[in-house]
Amino acid sequence: MCGGGTLIEGLTNGLGLLITRKHKDSRVSPRASTIDGRRKGACLFCQEYFMDLYLLAELKTISLKVTTVDMQKPPPDFRTNFQATPPPILIDNGDAILENEKIERHIMKNIPGGHNLFVQDKEVATLVENLFSKLKLLLLNAKDKDKDPKSSSLMAHLRKIDEHLGRKGTRFLTGDTMCCFDCELMPRLQHIRVAGKYFADFEIPETLVHLWRYMHHMYRLDAFLQSCPADQDIINHYKLQQSMKMKKHEELETPTFTTSIPIEVNDD
């Protein structure tokens, strides 16, 4: 994708993200798939920052170029400098920024146009930041037959998000324009859909119509579609965390992307 201003070049590989910037040229490197090094992987933070930068490219405040890098065979400069550092990593004029909050702050203050994505909303911030821990708890209890996914803390949290969207009546979390919170929330919702169903037979209820409407709008955006990992990569991401192995037929499957929704949405 091309535009004016800073050039951000990306190397995608589904495990992490490297962002480098030197003078007017920049590079963003999300790590690739753990199944196929040519595909995007399932790192939540990588997709979040990828979406941030993609939106800035659409605003033409930067130019964005994305390629892939296999972290099993990383480029020599990456291997030398960051072998022991888990991405995301941001390098700006030789200075390394390794913490997620600091990376977000740097994008907001230093990447051209970055301030346009960041808004202050404590309620939304709480809704988003506590969601992923509920997914991890669901997956941890997936084998416990006495635990009903429908009564899980994750389900209760999704209802809160649905209620918030219903009160707002807007396409996105804080209004009709996307912001950093949307780039954070939607990758988590995708992991909930794919990993929740695979490991715990968890599904987002059709009754959460405001949440499904929100996801419908997000599924139509290039910023999400271009950054979204395949279902297989999301599943393998959690299998690796549980020391499980992919089955051979799963490794050979054609990548699939869950982007359908179970309700009808009026786009007006």
- DSSP states of 123-190: HHHHHHHTHHHHHHHHHHTTT-TT--GGGSHHHHHHHHHHHHHHHH-SSSSSSSS--HHHHHHHHHHH
Question: With 60 as the cut, is the pLDDT of residue 223 above it?
Answer: yes
User: In angstroms, rounded to a whole number, what is the distance separating the alpha carbons of residues 157 and 127?
Assistant: 8
pLDDT value, residue 251: 67
CATH topology assigned to domain 122-242: Glutathione S-transferase Yfyf (Class Pi); Chain A, domain 2 (1.20.1050)
Rg, the chain, Cα only: 18
Averaged pLDDT for residues 96-121: 84
Short-list 114, 117, 104, CA closest to 179: 117
Enumerate residues 6+ apart whose C-beta is below 8 A from 212. 204, 206, 261, 262, 263, 265
Domain with CATH 3.40.30.10 in the chain: 25-117
pLDDT value, residue 12: 46
Per DSSP, the three-state class of 12 is: strand
Averaged pLDDT for residues 132-145: 88
pLDDT value, residue 150: 76
Question: With 50 as the cut, is the pLDDT of residue 5 above it?
Answer: no
Domain with CATH 1.20.1050.10 in the chain: 122-242
> What would the CATH number be for the domain defined by 25-117?
3.40.30.10
Question: With 70 as the cut, is the pLDDT of residue 170 above it?
Answer: yes
C-alpha distance from residue 181 to each of 140, 161, 177, 206, 225 (Å): 26, 12, 11, 23, 17
pLDDT value, residue 13: 44
